[in-house]
């Protein structure tokens, strides 16, 4: 196990705790618009916290009354998500990193016949070059970690990032451990709204919140 830093927002109660409570609550989950908005809100808060880890440059700005020395982000940021559940979470990040380049990966589970085991398949990738850039790889649920890794491997065909921030709303401890084993230790940081202890036989996080994609966009066939 490497020493990748893990930031768990549940360790310090904040507004994330309130939004997390609503995301998990079956009595609130029947409102898809609120579910999507809460994913966005957590994305916005995480984006701010991640912004504190970036590098900045001085910029001289002309005001109506003179000049002012300000700071702007020096990192070139690429914001990537795994379709489809990641879209609201991605949008929350994009509200803050509004000049970021964007990448999208399609990764899904294909269950094997008469069994609970499955393969994770990647079928689609749209991404700019990530060479030397700061990659924000965001997906609301980090269960086994296999989808996150496959998404990352697909993105590596577009270059090697200077640093990777892996962000999830809810992660399992197994998912955290998997990412720590398969991502580069010297340039990865993991961010989680909460870390749950277990995953069930279908590889869903327990207690988790259910299927984030279905809750956000409706049940798929």
The answer to whether residue 208 is domain-embedded is no
The answer to whether residue 99 is domain-embedded is yes
Closest by alpha carbon to 101, among 83, 123, 82, 77?
77
β-bridge pairing 66-73 and 56-63: antiparallel
Residue 77 to residue 130: CA distance in whole angstroms: 8
pLDDT of residue 145: 93
The answer to whether residue 78 is domain-embedded is yes
The domain spanning residue 42 has which CATH number? 3.40.50.2020
How many CA atoms lie less than 13 Å away from 152 in the CB half-sphere? 24
The structural domain count of the chain equals 1
Residues 6+ apart with CB under 8 A from 62: none
Domain that holds residue 102: 5-198
Residue 153 to residue 147: CA distance in whole angstroms: 10
The answer to whether residue 205 is domain-embedded is no
Q: Kindly report the pTM of this predicted structure.
A: 0.92
The answer to whether residue 163 is domain-embedded is yes
β-bridge pairing 77-83 and 163-172: unpaired
pLDDT of residue 1: 57
pLDDT of residue 22: 98
The answer to whether residue 215 is domain-embedded is no
The answer to whether residue 207 is domain-embedded is no
pLDDT of residue 185: 95
pLDDT digits (tens), the chain, 221 positions: 578 999 999 999 999 999 999 999 999 999 999 999 999 999 999 999 999 999 999 999 999 999 999 999 999 999 999 988 899 999 999 999 999 999 999 876 665 565 556 566 777 899 999 999 999 999 999 999 988 999 999 999 999 999 999 999 999 999 999 999 999 999 999 999 999 999 998 889 999 999 999 999 998 77
Residue 169 to residue 8: CA distance in whole angstroms: 10
Q: Which backbone phi and psi does 36 adopt, to 5 degrees?
A: -65, -40
């Amino acid at each position: 196990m490497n020493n990748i830093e893990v930031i768990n927002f549940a360790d310090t109660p904040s507004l994330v705790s309130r939004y997390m409570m609503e995301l998990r609550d079956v009595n609130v989950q029947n409102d898809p618009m609120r579910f999507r908005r809460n994913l966005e809100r957590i994305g916005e808060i995480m984006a701010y916290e991640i912004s504190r880890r970036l590098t900045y440059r001085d910029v001289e700005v002309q005001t109506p009354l003179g000049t002012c020395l300000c700071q702007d982000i020096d990192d070139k940021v690429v914001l990537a998500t795994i379709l489809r559940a990641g879209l609201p979470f991605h949008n929350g990040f994009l509200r803050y990193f509004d000049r970021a380049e964007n990448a999208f990966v399609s990764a899904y589970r294909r269950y094997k016949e008469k069994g609970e085991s499955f393969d994770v398949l990647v079928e689609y990738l749209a991404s700019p070059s990530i060479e030397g850039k700061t990659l924000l790889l965001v997906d609301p649920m980090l269960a086994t970690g296999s989808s996150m890794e496959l998404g990352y491997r697909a993105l590596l065909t577009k270059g090697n990032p200077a640093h990777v921030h892996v962000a999830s709303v809810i992660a399992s401890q197994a998912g955290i451990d998997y990412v720590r084993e398969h991502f580069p230790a010297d340039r990865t940081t993991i961010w989680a709204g909460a870390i749950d202890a277990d995953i069930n036989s279908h590889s869903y996080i327990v207690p988790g919140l259910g299927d984030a994609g279905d809750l956000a966009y409706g049940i798929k066939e």
